[in-house]
Amino acid sequence: MKQKLLLLLLFLALSTKSFAQFIFKSGYFINNNDQKITCLIYDIDWKNNPSKFDYKLNETSEILSESIENTKEFAVDGGAKYLRTTVEIDRSSDDVKKMGKQRNPTFKTETLFLKTIIEGKVALYYYRDGSLKRYFIKKDDLKTSQLVYKRYRTDAGGLAENSYFKQQILTDLTCSSINQKDVESLDYQLKDLQNIVLKYNECQNSTSQTYIVKQKRDLFNLAIRPGVDFNSLNIYLPKYDRRNVDFGKQTNFRIGLEAEYIIPYHNNKWSIVAEPTYQSYSGEQTYAATGISDGILSAKIEYTSIELPIGIRHTFFVTESSKIFLNAQYLLNLDLSPSLTYYRSDGTEFDHLDLKSGKNFAFGAGFKLQDKYIIEFRYQTDRFILDRYPNWSADYKTMSVIIGYNFM
């Protein structure tokens, strides 16, 4: 079994290396000499605005790095575009525990890669660093300015808001189609700010170029997951070899229902998965045993449970319609009255144990086609199923081949 685990880990390592190239996407960057270099950019769908990026000049070339110091802008075709900009930014915390009582923002000059949301007569940009989220606008050839929104503590211990961004919009985005009521209803959120800037540009007969990449809306999947388990079980009690029994290897049917939540960052490559699964193992062995009147014992096991593997999945996009994924999961078990019973040759009971499953881990690698059809190979670490009896050894080993179909 250890050899199988090593082979699976080797497969996972090779898969990670083999399919890393699919994260590189066509794009470009402009250096300080205003040269536009067409390349393949390592696209990780940045949650936080980057200060550097990796790229390759072609599919077979080495991976290079470039930084904000040497790059005016860079973009991924059909994706994000970042523009180097020197701005005044307020980094006041929005965490209630760290929030101060100062109403006005505290600006600091920084050079940042701002994410382009809209280009036009008025451009809209976005910056994120952890929990810090800031929006910026630029009108015509004027400088890029932060839209000000700040929460702060009052002397009475409550919370108040400085929504000066609304006044900025009223002043800078004056147009017949935008009234005060429109602005007063705005929240400091992407959708609201995007809509008001688009509305202004349209009012000014200015073409707007948007760079919002629509994330996959279907962030939740349900799949039926039948398969086969390759199980083995060996019972061992030191100093009492009459109870030692090897039930051997079996192939058993299993059926599960997998729920997957896709985390909407990093190009939907990470997800959280849970898969309640029914599994069973039963067997009977008759063997010679010392200290028994006729020297014969029979051991019978009935072990059924609902497994609940919970963990994370990382997906590698091979083509538009095919993916490879890796899983790491922690397994909980709900036992369904499992038992281990020893019988004498005349059928009378010699010993009886109520089984209780311990917790273990599972690691898997699989392939998904057209977001519908799934096959996975999974290895579980040994599971101790005699948790009530610490002096016993009862290692339950499982490897699985699982197929699946996404129906939601």
Shared-domain flag, residues 275 and 253: yes
Residues 6+ apart with CB under 8 A from 136: 85, 87, 114, 124, 125, 126, 127, 144, 145, 146, 147
Identify whether 9 is part of a domain.
no
**Cα separation, 80 vs 211, whole angstroms:** 6
**Cα separation, 386 vs 66, whole angstroms:** 56
**What totals of helices (H) and strands (E) does the chain contain, helices first?**
4, 24
Q: β-pairing, 81-90 with 71-76?
A: antiparallel
Predicted local distance difference test score (pLDDT) of residue 172: 92
Range of the domain at 356: 220-406
Residues 6+ apart with CB under 8 A from 17: none
Give the chain's domain count.
2
Is the pLDDT confidence value at 121 over 60? yes
Measuring CA to CA, how many Å separate 200 from each of 14, 81, 195, 347? 51, 22, 9, 88
* Residue 218: pLDDT band with limits 50, 70, 90: low
**Cα separation, 139 vs 163, whole angstroms:** 20
Mean pLDDT of 1-15: 50
Predicted local distance difference test score (pLDDT) of residue 96: 85
**Cα separation, 163 vs 183, whole angstroms:** 11
**Cα separation, 278 vs 381, whole angstroms:** 18
Is the pLDDT confidence value at 279 over 60? yes
Domain final position from 210, 245, 261: 210
Identify whether 215 is part of a domain.
no
Identify whether 333 is part of a domain.
yes
Shared-domain flag, residues 28 and 148: yes
Tokens of 63: 């991976």
Mean pLDDT of 337-359: 90
Identify whether 233 is part of a domain.
yes
Predicted local distance difference test score (pLDDT) of residue 391: 84
Shared-domain flag, residues 335 and 357: yes
Shared-domain flag, residues 206 and 225: no
| Residue type, position 268, single letter | N
Mean pLDDT of 343-370: 92
Predicted local distance difference test score (pLDDT) of residue 5: 47
Domain final position from 179, 210, 241: 210
Shared-domain flag, residues 321 and 203: no
E-strand stretches of 10-119? 24-31, 36-42, 52-56, 64-67, 71-76, 81-90, 107-119
Identify whether 7 is part of a domain.
no
Predicted local distance difference test score (pLDDT) of residue 98: 87
Greater pLDDT, 292 or 112: 112
Shared-domain flag, residues 376 and 311: yes
Tokens of 212: 């919002």
Mean pLDDT of 287-312: 90
Predicted local distance difference test score (pLDDT) of residue 214: 55
Shared-domain flag, residues 182 and 293: no
Identify whether 179 is part of a domain.
yes
Mean pLDDT of 226-239: 90
Shared-domain flag, residues 176 and 291: no
Shared-domain flag, residues 116 and 199: yes
Closest by Cα among 170, 131, 163 to 149: 163
Shared-domain flag, residues 69 and 156: yes
Shared-domain flag, residues 261 and 401: yes
Identify whether 5 is part of a domain.
no
Task: Reduce the DSSP state of residue 359 to 3 states and report it.
Answer: coil
Predicted local distance difference test score (pLDDT) of residue 128: 95
Shared-domain flag, residues 111 and 137: yes
Domain final position from 183, 210, 237: 210
190 has which bridge partners? none
Say which residue the tokens 């602005």 belong to. 183
pTM: predicted TM-score of the whole model, two decimal places: 0.64
Identify whether 317 is part of a domain.
yes
**Cα separation, 394 vs 384, whole angstroms:** 5
Tokens of 66: 């470039």
**Cα separation, 325 vs 376, whole angstroms:** 9
Is the pLDDT confidence value at 106 over 70? yes
Mean pLDDT of 347-352: 90
- Contact criterion met (CB below 8 Å) for 109 and 88: yes
Alpha helices in 100-241 (DSSP H): 164-172, 180-184, 190-203
Tokens of 74: 């860079």
* Polymer length of the chain: 408
CATH number of the domain encompassing residue 316: 2.40.160.20
